[in-house]
């Protein structure tokens, strides 16, 4: 990642941004960030001073590389074919980016990310593994994340049946010192544990153990990744902060924070095909860090670039370019129409290291300008609380507290406050509530497939074309660990469309290691998570509608898109 790789086309917003940069320089903001000064964000140090370890993570992890490689040496030979990562949110997204953009080197195992409670996906994973040639990575900062605990118990029990005592050599753990997972490892006499710096929050952990260990095990040049990140960190040094539009994360953050205050809070990411997985990581970093206290920057990923007139005045665009040829007339038209645009030029795939640090700094600075704490997630607990209550009820009664649908057809049941006698009318009536600065979010608790993905894309495009609204989509429960905080914590301008269906198969979750007893299934866990988030959104006064498909969900979604 070289120095002059960011340019800004800000139009009428340039002068306010420069004024903000001058203010930051006068108040010595960048130097104070590097001294862990919590007052940059909030008067109290809680969940700030113990969340700034990411500033030194690239250099610290670089020093630990010999030890990491030495531990992983026995897994990097042809005897291991597959590595399955059990993780959610910050424990899986960076690894997924490295896996999809860098890939596995020849002679190294393939990496599979399992960040779901969908029983169909879990079952299919068990069927395709050669258990004698498989290793599991269990990644959880706290060691108590419900999804990871359930997945670990399930796969450990299966591996114990298939491998016997050698199961102890097939599990690698990434967690914080003193976490519940450490105690579990001790109880099972397991040996491969990577302890991460506890002062690094999950979404800021890409350049520490949760990101680097999976990258190393598939043969990525992790030294090059981290060296690029170290160079990026050095460019953020306070001595180099001029107060001008320099190509740094500090300036990028000032631009994003100031633009959000001006109503430009829909950060639209335009990426080359190869770099699109990076957008998923950025989505969590930005949404979960800024979506609180009735504020927020909403990342928009996977959206086709349209004509300038298709967008409202709530957009800021970031275009990532691998070459000068990546720029298109549409990009220039956006600038001419007055939309602010940021251009980031990439050199090669290992720019990932530098980009990750740059965006971490940018997010922290944007939060400073927005007067919020970028390191907490105060609204995430609401969904967890409702989900736990529903699971407790299911364990007692074998039923979930299912509400009564407002509309029931042969194809689906529809829940929520709307007018209409068909699914299409219900959706159209729901979307009539939309205002100019709103956005639509598809919350997808369906089993992923190419058909579902295509139908979701059609629905997003139909909504954007008719209502000129920014749209996002996320599979549950993954999005709960990514954009879920923003959904409950922002200003309330989201319209949420929840999509559910009965699972074709289900898989028991063991109640504990070494036992076949089960009082919960993955299908019921996923259903409880959907209902829990529904209730949390309702409690927060959010607008939400739910479609529960009884027949072909992909066909139903396609019908909705066509009906709009």
> Averaged over 534-547, what is the pLDDT?
98
Q: What would the 3-class secondary structure string for 295-313 be? A: ECCEEECCCCCCCHHHCCC
Q: Which of 319-328, 373-382, 515-524 has the lowest mean pLDDT?
A: 319-328
pLDDT digits (tens, 9 = 90+) for 468-511: 999 999 999 999 999 999 999 999 999 999 999 999 999 999 99
Fold agreement between 77-218 and 380-563: yes
The encoded tokens of residue 226 equal 């981290």
* pLDDT tens digits, one per residue of 364-384: 999 999 999 999 999 999 999
Q: What angle do CA 55, 56, 60 make, to 5 degrees?
A: 155
Q: Residue 564's closest CA among 503, 497, 478?
A: 497
Answer yes or no: is pLDDT of 324 > 90.
no
pLDDT tens-digit map of 104-134: 999 899 999 999 999 999 999 999 999 999 9
pLDDT above 50 for 1: no
**Alpha carbons 509 and 199: distance in angstroms, whole number:** 32
| Predicted pLDDT of residue 141 | 95
Rounded Cα distance, 287 and 266, in Å: 10
Tell me the pLDDT band of 228, cut-offs 50, 70 and 90. Answer: very high
pLDDT on residue 37: 98
Ranking 71-85, 254-268, 328-342, 366-380 by mean pLDDT, the lowest is 71-85
- What is the CATH class of 380-563? alpha beta
Domain 6-36+237-370: give its CATH code.
Answer: 3.40.50.10490
Measure the CA–CA gap between 533 and 169, rounded to whole angstroms: 37
Mean pLDDT score across all residues of the chain = 95
Which has more confidence, 417 or 84?
84
Radius of gyration of the chain (CA): 23
Alpha helices in 218-275 (DSSP H): 222-235, 249-261
CATH of 77-218, one of 3.40.50.10490, 1.10.10.350, 1.10.357.10, 3.40.1190.20: 3.40.50.10490
Torsion of Cα atoms, 104 then 150 then 130 then 65, to 10°? 30
The domains of the chain are located at: 6-36+237-370, 77-218, 380-563
pLDDT at 4: 58
DSSP 89: G
pLDDT reported for residue 325: 67
* pLDDT tops 50 at residue 173: yes
Give the pLDDT band of residue 439 (cuts 50, 70, 90). Answer: very high
113 membership: H or E segment, kind and range: strand 110-114
Enter the pTM of the model.
0.96
CA distance 491 to 224: 40
Question: How many degrees, rounded to 5, is the angle at CA 341 between CA 339 and CA 343?
Answer: 165
DSSP state of 402: P
In the structure, what pLDDT confidence band is assigned to residue 2 with cuts at 50, 70 and 90?
very low
Check residue 3 and give its pLDDT: 47
pLDDT of residue 238: 86
Closest residue by Cα to residue 385 from 546, 536, 522, 530: 536
Q: What DSSP element (H or E) covers 415?
A: strand 412-416
pLDDT in tens, 43-91: 999 999 999 999 999 999 999 999 999 999 888 667 899 999 999 999 9
- CA 51/CA 130 separation, integer angstroms: 39
Q: What's the rounded mean pLDDT across residues 332-341? A: 95
Alpha-carbon gap, residue 256 to 259, rounded angstroms: 5
């Amino acid at each position: 990642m070289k120095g002059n790789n960011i340019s800004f086309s800000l139009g009428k917003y340039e002068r306010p941004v420069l004024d903000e940069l001058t203010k930051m320089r006068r108040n010595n903001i960048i130097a104070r960030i590097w001294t862990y000064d919590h007052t940059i964000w909030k008067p109290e140090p809680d969940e700030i001073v113990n969340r700034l370890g990411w500033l030194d993570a690239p250099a610290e992890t670089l020093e630990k590389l010999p030890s990491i490689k030495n531990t992983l040496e026995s897994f990097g030979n042809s005897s291991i074919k597959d590595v399955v990562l059990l993780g959610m949110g910050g424990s899986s997204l960076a690894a997924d980016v490295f896996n999809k953009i860098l890939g596995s080197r020849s002679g190294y195992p393939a990496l599979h990310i399992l960040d779901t409670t969908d029983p169909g996906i879990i079952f299919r994973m068990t069927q395709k593994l050669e258990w004698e040639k498989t290793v599991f990575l269990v990644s959880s900062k706290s060691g108590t994340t419900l999804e990871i605990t359930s997945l670990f118990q399930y796969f450990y029990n299966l591996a114990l049946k298939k491998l016997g005592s050698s199961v102890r050599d097939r599990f690698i753990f990434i967690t914080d010192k003193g976490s519940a997972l450490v105690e579990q490892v001790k109880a099972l006499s397991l040996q491969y544990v990577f302890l991460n710096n506890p002062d690094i929050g999950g979404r800021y952990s890409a350049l520490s153990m949760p990101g680097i260990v999976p990258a190393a095990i598939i043969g990525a040049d992790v030294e090059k990744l981290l060296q690029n990140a170290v160079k990026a960190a050095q460019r953020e040094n306070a001595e180099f902060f001029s107060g001008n539009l320099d190509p740094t994360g500090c300036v990028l953050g000032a631009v994003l924070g100031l633009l959000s205050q001006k109503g430009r809070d829909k950060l639209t990411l335009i990426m080359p095909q190869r770099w699109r997985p990076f957008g998923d990581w950025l989505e969590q970093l930005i949404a979960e860090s800024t979506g609180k206290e009735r504020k927020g920057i909403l990342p928009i990923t996977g959206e086709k670039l349209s004509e300038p007139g298709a967008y409202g005045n709530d957009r800021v665009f970031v275009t990532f370019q691998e070459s000068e040829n990546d720029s298109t007339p549409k990009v220039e038209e956006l600038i001419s129409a007055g939309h602010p645009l940021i251009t980031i030029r990439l050199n090669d795939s290992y720019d990932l290291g530098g980009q990750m640090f740059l965006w971490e700094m940018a997010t922290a600075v944007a939060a400073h300008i927005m007067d919020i704490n970028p390191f907490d997630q105060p609204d995430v607990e609401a969904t967890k609380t409702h989900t736990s209550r529903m699971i407790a009820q299911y364990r007692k009664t074998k039923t979930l507290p299912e509400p009564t649908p407002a509309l029931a057809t042969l194809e689906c049941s529809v829940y929520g406050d709307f007018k209409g006698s068909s699914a299409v009318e219900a959706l159209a009536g729901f979307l009539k509530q939309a205002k100019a600065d709103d956005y639509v979010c598809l919350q997808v608790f369906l089993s992923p497939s190419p058909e579902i993905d295509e139908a979701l894309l059609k629905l997003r495009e139909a909504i954007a074309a008719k209502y000129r609204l920014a749209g996002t989509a996320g599979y549950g429960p993954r999005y709960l660990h990514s954009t879920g905080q923003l959904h409950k914590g922002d200003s309330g301008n989201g319209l949420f469309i929840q999509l559910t269906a009965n699972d074709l198969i289900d898989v028991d979750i063991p109640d504990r290691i070494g036992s076949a007893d089960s009082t919960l299934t993955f299908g019921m866990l996923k259903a409880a998570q959907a209902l829990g988030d529904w209730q949390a959104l309702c409690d927060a006064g959010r607008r939400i509608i739910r479609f529960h498909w009884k027949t072909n969900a992909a066909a139903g979604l396609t019908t909705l898109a066509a009906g709009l």
